[in-house]
Chain A
Amino acid sequence: MRIYQSDVLCMGAGLAGERVAVEAAQAGFSVICLSVVPPKRSHSSAAMGGMQAALGNSIMGDGDCPEIHFNDTVKGSDWGCDQEVARIFANTAPIAMREMAFLGVPWSRVVPGEHTYYKGGKPFQATEKAENEGLIHSRAFGGTAKWRTCYTSDGTGHAVLFTLDNRLLQLGVTMHDRTQAEALIHDGQTCMGCIARDLRTGELVAYLAKATLIATGGYGRIYRATTNAVICDGGGQITALNTGVVPLGNMEAVQFHPTGTVPTDILVTEGCRGDGGTLLDVNEYRFMPDYEPEKAELASRDVVSRRMTEHMRKGFGVPSPYGEHLWLDIRHLGEKHIKTNLREVYDISTHFLGVDPVHQLIPVRPTQHYSMGGVRINKDGHAYGLKGLFAAGEAACWDMHGFNRLGGNSLAETVVSGRVIGQKLVEFLQGYETTFSTQATNEAALQVQDRITQLKRGSGDNCYVLRNAMQDIMMEHVGIFRNGKDLEAGVAKLQELLERCKNMRLEGNQPGPNAEMSMALRVPGMIKLALCTAYGALMRTESRGAHAREDYPERNDKDWLVRTLAYWKEGADLPTLEYERATPWFILPPGDRGYGGGKIIQGDMTNEKVIGYDQQA
């Protein structure tokens, strides 16, 4: 077995992984990055919209500050987030954006003078200040009090990812692409790296490191209809869960984006609505203001997705061979705006749907989009349960998003948490030495090898049948609206599926690159993640953010102002759930979000610590 050794091992080389790698490499530590695809193809590249940071340069962001950003984030999370982490995030975001500008991101900039902007489909005039000319501009995204989202036309993720990856080239960081991490090397106390599979050759390779980072993105592919790339299968979370000692946080918190296209499930950016796009029903009637008079299309994503589903259930959906959908209308924004600021949207509509958005409506429906849950880490990025294990980005539950994240906050989180956690990781490494255990290494390698051998002997269903069955269960039982009966049935079906995995069969078997083997190795872990999601959702008897229980419609701050921690004990067929306080203290005590409606069961705040935004706890 080939063995590599470095100070830092980054599993995943999207924005979060690369930002941490930059920090570690700048501090002089040796870094190896693993990625299942060439790093510039990471799913971060698909994020179009932008990154929230309270720079306040644009006229519609005038007077913005981190505290307002913090308040929006906490409300967006439906008070499910860790307020200490949300404050670190809001305070660091402006610095992280300026840093990316310094490294080469061509952010869109303020052009002084009068401009026509749109709000709710209606044009209005605003005058950008002359003194802010050339500073980073910002656009509107849902659930925010100010226009705060920094952007580069509609290729923000792409531009920032290329900039960071180029920085890694410059720093000489070792990149092993087409490599898939399969198991963490650990002794129950300390993480020492991982066993990975070389996707070019099929061999197993050991990576030993003092600090290991999981930054492998979300787990959207446990759902059939998802905007996520095909690689977003929760690989990193699976390795953490399989240790038995590292918990996953809030796995039931899954975001559905209001505007996935039909039938391809490709995301069209929230920037469409931010720039004034509207949602129409079968009668081409704009319905959102009826549900959300104030924010309309720009309420938070969980709310808009639920209102859309509600409206379709009332019979106002547009029928199609691919199921019901609604329309997104951006025609009034004009050809020039659509073809420059929303060009990716134009490309996607014309190439994948055969729709010209300058003249036609875009078919959309709520589609799985973002995983708020993930590897539970503390505010410094250290995973619970294992020393030397870190996580960042969508793979992690840091937890600034709680039960719903705001558009533009996750892309910002990648570089902000990458900066913060990268610095903490560097602090951890200063003067740190450890011991690499050959026993732990061999055990991890053997565990993966055994799974491969077993697959070659299996005679049951193939990996595609099992994966498709899981995805259908998740769509049917663990979707936008949830209830006890459906969730219970879903959990039982997933358990049965997990059992069937033990006899999974390979259709083909060949040396070298083997996509079927890669998928087959993933599926049991994905079903475990699906079970964490479904079971967590079943046990959480309240509605909060994206988690909407029809049988428990109230947000219950009395009993459920907590974070779910899911552990997987060896040989179990269900996760073990524990709970911890959502936040160590409050800056913004629980209240009404101001959109979305819904009742709240109030908790007892008499013994809770409440501090000011600028106050230390």
Chain B
Amino acid sequence: MGRILTFEIFRYNPLDPRSMPHMQTFTLEEQRSMTLFVALNQIREHQDATLQFDFCCRAGICGSCGMVINGRPGLACHTQTSDLPERITLHPLPVFKLLGDLSVDTGTWFRNVGKKIESWLHTNKTFDPNAQEERMDNELATQIFELDRCIECGCCVAACGTALMRKDFIGATSINRMARFYIDPRDQRTPKDFYDLIGDDNGVFGCMGLLACDDICPKQIPLQDQLGIMRRMVSIESVRGWLPEGIRKRLGGGCGCGRHK
């Protein structure tokens, strides 16, 4: 027989006038290879059909099931109960609008921030169906994909001190997204364009450097590095006009590392 697990789960339905935020306790016998996906579905199917939570791919790929697990944001589907103590406390991700219990509205948040940072490739070219594709160095394609791997689960935002204090902060996920377009030669935006989009307190300068984002990212995306690169690039851009010409020349374009546009 497995351990008896005790789940303390946050309950609140904002659309039910009788509902008050509270913690509810459920117990469940642990099975081999049990994940929080398995456990929560068993609770809903056998103990309380009104429990709300989100899963989709249940394989750690789609980013639906971010929640605060024993105080730490993470993906419920790839959290095995065997890695947790017998008492498991689950809260919804903060920052995002609560829809009910463990379910939060990440979709609207990401849509809004996506529009704000113009999260798409900017080009004035048009597609020619008869032409061969533009060439790209495979090393660069791999680098872009490394940053493109963000699944927008929202864990980094929920773990972010700045995002909790400043509701319009774009979060590490968005800075990483901009870093992805910044290194993509197909995107014609210049450092000035990036400065205009993220060069303020809601962008790269809002970050207090606590870097919980980097610690908790379920996809282990190097968020700290991206923040550093983008902040340096935007900082240099903001003072570029005042720098003596010699230094300007030495810095070259972009973030000054000589590798980026």
Contact = CB atoms under 8 A, between A and B. Distances in A.
B243 interface: no
Contacts of B73: none
A134 B132 contact: no
B98 to A, nearest CB: 10
Contacts of A324: none
B245 interface: no
Contact of A229 (B16, B58, B137): B58
A609 interface: no
B127 A229 contact: no
A103 interface: yes
Interface string B152-165: 10000000000000
B73 to A, nearest CB: 16
A351 B145 contact: no
A101 interface: yes
Interface in A136-176: 136-137, 152-153, 155, 158-159, 162-163, 166-167, 169-170, 175
Interface string B1-36: 000000000000111100000000000000011010
Q: Which residue, of B13, B14, B33, B131, has the highest number of chain A Cβ atoms within 10 A?
A: B33
Nearest to A92: B129
Nearest to B152: A40
A101 B108 CA distance: 27
Contact of A166 (B49, B57, B119, B149): B119
Given A162-B148, A201-B15, A231-B56, A514 B50 contact: yes
A430 B116 CA distance: 33
Interface residues of A, number: 74
A263 interface: yes
A134 B127 contact: no
Given A106-B148, A170-B120, A511-B15, A177 B60 contact: no
B61 interface: yes
A476 to B, nearest CB: 20
B135 A133 contact: yes
B124 to A, nearest CB: 12
Contact of B61 (A158, A163, A511): A158
A264 B57 CA distance: 11
A508 interface: yes
Contacts of B54: 37
B18 to A, nearest CB: 9
B211 interface: no
Given A108-B141, A348-B59, A351-B60, A510 B133 contact: no
Contact of B145 (A101, A106, A177, A264): A106
Contacts of B99: 178, 200, 512-513
A41 B108 CA distance: 13
A167 B45 contact: no
A344 B49 CA distance: 33
A109 B186 CA distance: 15
Nearest to B181: A104
A340 B106 CA distance: 29
Contacts of A344: 61
Contacts of A40: 62-63, 110, 151-152
A116 B80 CA distance: 36
A230 B114 contact: no
B15 to A, nearest CB: 3
A169 B115 contact: yes
A266 interface: yes
Nearest to B32: A321
Contact of B133 (A135, A348, A354, A515): A135
B57 A109 contact: no
B138 A37 contact: no
A134 B138 contact: yes
B61 A45 contact: yes
B138 A110 contact: yes
Contacts of B13: 510-513
A134 B119 CA distance: 25
A134 B64 contact: no
Contacts of A492: none
Interface string B50-72: 11111111111111100000000
B150 to A, nearest CB: 8
B48 interface: yes
B107 to A, nearest CB: 3
A464 interface: yes
A428 interface: no
A506 interface: yes
A506 B49 CA distance: 8
Contact of B135 (A135, A169, A515): A135
B44 interface: yes
Nearest to A47: B61
Contact of B149 (A158, A321, A462, A508): A158
A348 B142 CA distance: 20
Given A40-B152, A200-B105, A169 B120 contact: yes
Nearest to B33: A263
Contact of B106 (A38, A137, A159, A351): A38
Contacts of B254: none
B141 A45 contact: no
A99 interface: yes
B226 interface: no
Contacts of B78: 347, 351-352
A24 interface: no
B137 A135 contact: no
Contacts of A162: 148
A166 B120 contact: yes
A46 B141 contact: no
Given A38-B107, A159-B145, A511 B59 contact: no
A513 B14 CA distance: 10
A109 B137 contact: yes
A353 B59 CA distance: 11
A113 B107 CA distance: 44
A344 B62 CA distance: 12
Interface in A558-580: none
A497 interface: no
Contacts of B142: 106, 108, 153, 340
A361 interface: no
Contacts of B152: 38, 40
Contacts of A153: 142, 145
B239 interface: no
B132 A513 contact: no
A462 B49 contact: yes
Taking each of A104, A134, A136, A506, which has the highest tally of chain B beta carbons within 10 Å of its own beta carbon?
A: A104
Contacts of B120: 104, 166-167, 169-170
Given A46-B62, A266-B59, A175 B111 contact: yes
B60 A103 contact: no
Contact of B52 (A37, A354, A462, A515): A515
Most buried by B among A99, A200, A231: A200
8 contacts: A102-B134, A109-B138, A153-B142, A153-B145, A163-B121, A348-B60, A464-B45, A510-B13
Given A40-B63, A506-B49, A514-B50, 7 more contacts: A152-B141, A169-B120, A177-B107, A264-B58, A322-B33, A462-B49, A510-B16
Q: Sorted from nearest, which 10 A-B pairs have the closest CB atoms?
A: A134-B135, A512-B15, A38-B107, A507-B49, A508-B50, A106-B144, A109-B138, A104-B121, A166-B120, A41-B62
